[in-house]
Every structure is written in structure tokens, then in C-alpha cells.
Structure 1
Amino acid sequence: MNRILLVEDNEMNRDAISRLLERRGFTLLLAADGEEGVRLCRETRPDLVLMDLGLPGIDGFEATRRIKADPVTSHIPVVALTARALTSDREAAFAAGCDDYDTKPVDLGRLVDKIRRLTGDPEAP
């Protein structure tokens, strides 16, 4: 099915990333903040979550911790998708429960490869 939940507060980034992935055949669900992302993840159970780390309200670190702590959503892979490129940010993302880490601007080929690997679907779009 390849449904991806994109949690991104920047409207331009959300629009650009979702359009790129939709053109590759993925179905996108969109959330503008951490609270909405956690709620939509629980309600829709996507195949993967792309999580911005610098979100208003609860940030992407806390949203990921909540997703991973919930037995309903703990199995869903979370990829930190962020402009934060420091080693400490990467380490903090993994410590929060992220399964992978990628930086903006998005390299679509690399991101799709990560999605395929994490969802176990080599035929993903």
C-alpha cells in the first residue's frame, strides 16, 4: 500500500515533499505538527512516518517517542527528515526512536531507497 505520514510544519516543504513522493506512487497523509502526527499515526497506521524534528508544540523527538511507546504504532518505521545535520541531532533522533535519519534538502532517490528498506518492500514505487 505504501502510505506515508509526513509530519512537517513548513507548508512549502510539506507540499514539495508530498508531491515528489506522490509522483513516485506513494500515498501521503499530512500532519502540520507533532500532536497531529501522533494522532494520525495512531488513527491511520501508515507504513512509514517521515518526521520533521523542529515542530511547533511537541517536537519531532517527542512525537517519535510517543509513536514508539504506543503498542498500536511502535512497529511503524520513523525516518527523521530534517535540516539539522549535526552528529548530535542524528544521535538524538536515534535515541528518540527514529529508525533512520535523512537531511533536507531531500535527495529523492536516497529517501525512496530508505522507504523501501524500512517497509521491506523492494517493489515500492
Structure 2
Amino acid sequence: MTASILTVDDSASIRLTTKIALSNAGYTVTEAVDGADGLAKAKAGRFDIIVTDLNMPNMNGLTMIEELRKLPAHMGVPIIFLTTESDAALKSQAKAAGATGWLTKPFDPETLVKIVRKVLGR
């Protein structure tokens, strides 16, 4: 069975690039347009991994992770940040909130797929 991935980003072009890369690698991808949408979709479904941006309207990625980690069903779901931010303090905040990893934009789609495979172990 293929892994199910939730991607959360306010940029349509990033969502498309991410979806193409992950779909071509055999994953099922669901898209969300911001943290609030991502939180709602995560609560409504089951995902093996979440890939999220940090800076988004309505709810940022950090707040979304904090909210997800409060829910027992989402405590162990790996979450990868895919963001333009590279500040060490933000990375520490993200890790404390429950992020599993960090990939900086612009990104190589093959690198994203490799990270997802490594985190999922498949």
C-alpha cells in the first residue's frame, strides 16, 4: 500500500511541484492551502507524513504542528518543514513543536522524495 502524504503550502506552484515529485514517486498526495486547511484535512483523514510550509496566512506551519501534536492520532506522524526559512532559532522552535525535519526552499524535488523515503522507511 502506498503512503499517504499531506502537503501544506500557500504557494500553488510549490504545491504543484511537491505533488508531482511525490506522486511520481508513488505516493498519494492531498493538498492544503494553509495551516488551518492542513489541520482540518489532517483531522479528517489519516496521513503517513505531512510536508508543510512555515509562513502561511490564516495559520502558520508551526501553529499547525503544535495543534496536531495535541491530538493522540497525530502524535507520531512525521512532519517535514519545507520553507524559505533557515534560521537556527526557528529550527529549534519547530523541533520543540514536533517537527521531524527541515528542507529549505528552493528545493530539489529528488531530495524531497529521498527525505520522505528515509523518514517513512520505504
Listed as ranges, the gaps of 5+ residues in structure 2 are none
**Under a length normalisation based on structure 2, what TM-score does the superposition of the two structures give?**
0.92
Q: Matches of residues 1-125 of structure 1 in structure 2 within 5 Å? A: 1-121=2-122
What percentage of aligned pairs have identical amino acids? Answer: 28
| Contact 1:45 1:76 (C-alpha < 8 Å) held by counterparts | no
What SS class does the counterpart of residue 81 from structure 2 fall into?
Answer: strand
Q: How many residues align?
A: 121
**Under a length normalisation based on structure 1, what TM-score does the superposition of the two structures give?**
0.90
**106-115 vs 37-46, which moves further:** 106-115
What SS class does the counterpart of residue 69 from structure 2 fall into?
Answer: helix
Per-residue deviation, residues 50-71 of structure 1 (Å, max 9, x unmatched) = 0100011111000001111100
| Contact 1:8 1:14 (C-alpha < 8 Å) held by counterparts | yes
What SS class does the counterpart of residue 55 from structure 1 fall into?
Answer: coil
| Contact 1:81 1:104 (C-alpha < 8 Å) held by counterparts | yes
Alignment RMSD:
1.2
Runs of 4+ in 1 over 6 A off after TM superposition: none
Q: CA deviation at 1:113?
A: 2.2
